[in-house]
Amino acid sequence: EEELQAWRDRIKRLLNEQNAVLVAHYYTDPLIQALAEETGGCVSDSLEMARFGAEHSADTLVVAGVKFMGETAKILTPNKRVLMPTLEATCSLDLGCPPDEFSEFCDQHSDRTVVVYANTSAAVKARADWVVTSSIALDVVDHLDAQGEKILWAPDKHLGGYVQRETGADVLLWDGSCIVHEEFKAKGVEDLKALYPDAVVLVHPESPAAVVALADVVGSTSQIINAAKTRPEKRFIVATDQGIFYKMQQECPDKELMVAPTAGAGATCRSCANCPWMAMNSLENLCAVLERGDNEIFVDAELGRKAMIPLQRMLDFRM
């Protein structure tokens, strides 16, 4: 505990000295989330992280999350210094969508409007007409569908499938998935629901369709937290990364939150409701990056200019 306090104090001092602000995702270590809150930074979903970083006056953004979040911050504010506690933290969606292959796929379907999830590289974003996060994917695709546009969606097939079913739009899907959400099992959720029939099921749309079908509420991390807060029920089954429980429990101290079951009983899975890449962020490497000023995020200027267009479209989007 004393050691933790020492890390926290050092980080606070460094943030101050460097006019830096901490931007953290809900899936990161609760110690990091708490520190971001305490120091006037931000803890949020990917859309709000992008907004916050773009609007904040700090010289340096320290992004605790995964690579695409740091890149997004750099693309939106190329003049700021963007640091990340680790450069190793990637995402299976980003990895599963190599820019060259993706660009070829787009060329083969040039009649379609290209909508990509924020969980992608700068090069993939640079090839897109729109970037969306799970908070606004439905609204954006609804809007494009109403204009008669056909969609090419990448990379998450589960989120894309959900958007397709909900909007009825013509959506061509790239075959990517999140290794964390893909592990949630409909059978497990049904069994838990049988034990607790009063429980509300909250599901992130990166989960498989069979799990989404059991949901009372489907939404981004911030929408899930908001549902737990505003629904009158007392018990919730939550299908997303366990990091979210820190904020959820803080927002609703009197409610019982249960993580949705992943692989079958006794089975092991490496990333059970816990993103291995998000987990690479720690107070220790956060402190080190501020001390050394390394792990700076750079995005090729030309690529950045191209990627900024669909990203800015996302930030400016209003229904």
Which of 15, 32 has the CB closer to ligand SF4?
A: 32
| Number of chain residues interacting with ligand 13P (CB under 6 A) | 10
Q: Which does 179 bind (CB under 5 to 8 A by kind): ligand SF4, ligand 13P, none?
A: ligand SF4
Q: Is the distance from CB of 91 to CB of 66 less than 8 angstroms? A: yes
71 binds ligand 13P (CB under 6 A): no
Range 39-58, binding ligand 13P (CB under 6 A): 45-46
> How far apart (Å, rounded) are the C-alpha atoms in residues 70 and 77?
11
220 binds ligand 13P (CB under 6 A): yes
Q: Would you call the peptide bond into 155 cis, given omega within 30 degrees of 0 as the criterion?
A: yes
- Rounded least distance, CB 14 to ligand SF4, Å: 26
CB burial of 30-58 (b: ≥16 within 10 Å; e: otherwise) equals: bbbbbbbeebebbbbbbbbbbbbbbebeb
Tell me, residue by residue from 264 to 303, as one string, x for binding to ligand 13P by CB under 6 A and - for no binding: ----------------------------------------
133 binds ligand 13P (CB under 6 A): yes
The number of CA neighbours under 13 Å toward the Cβ of 274 is 11
- Rounded least distance, CB 191 to ligand 13P, Å: 25
86 binds ligand 13P (CB under 6 A): no
> How far apart (Å, rounded) are the C-alpha atoms in residues 87 and 296?
9
Contacts of 97 (CB under 8 A, 6+ apart): 116, 120, 121, 124, 154, 155, 174, 176
221 binds ligand 13P (CB under 6 A): yes
> How far apart (Å, rounded) are the C-alpha atoms in residues 139 and 102?
24
Give the residues across from 256 on adjacent strands: 235
Q: Which does 277 bind (CB under 5 to 8 A by kind): ligand 13P, ligand SF4, none?
A: ligand SF4
Range 199-218, binding ligand 13P (CB under 6 A): 206
The strands making up 200-203's β-sheet, listed across from edge to edge, are 217-218, 200-203, 235-239, 256-259
Which of 189, 275 has the CB closer to ligand SF4?
A: 275
> How far apart (Å, rounded) are the C-alpha atoms in residues 109 and 150?
10
Token pair recorded at residue 266: 């006794």
Name the segment binding ligand 13P (CB under 6 A); options: 33-41, 128-136, 164-172, 209-217: 128-136
Residues near ligand SF4, by CB under 6 A = 66, 91-93, 119, 178-180, 206, 241, 275, 277-278
120 binds ligand 13P (CB under 6 A): no
What is the dihedral sign for C-alpha 131, 137, 140, 142? positive
Closest residue by Cα to residue 141 from 113, 122, 119, 183? 113
Q: Which does 92 bind (CB under 5 to 8 A by kind): ligand 13P, ligand SF4, none?
A: ligand SF4
156 binds ligand 13P (CB under 6 A): no
134 binds ligand 13P (CB under 6 A): yes
- Rounded least distance, CB 302 to ligand 13P, Å: 27
- Give the interface with ligand 13P as residue ranges (CB under 6 A): 25, 27, 45-46, 133-135, 206, 220-221
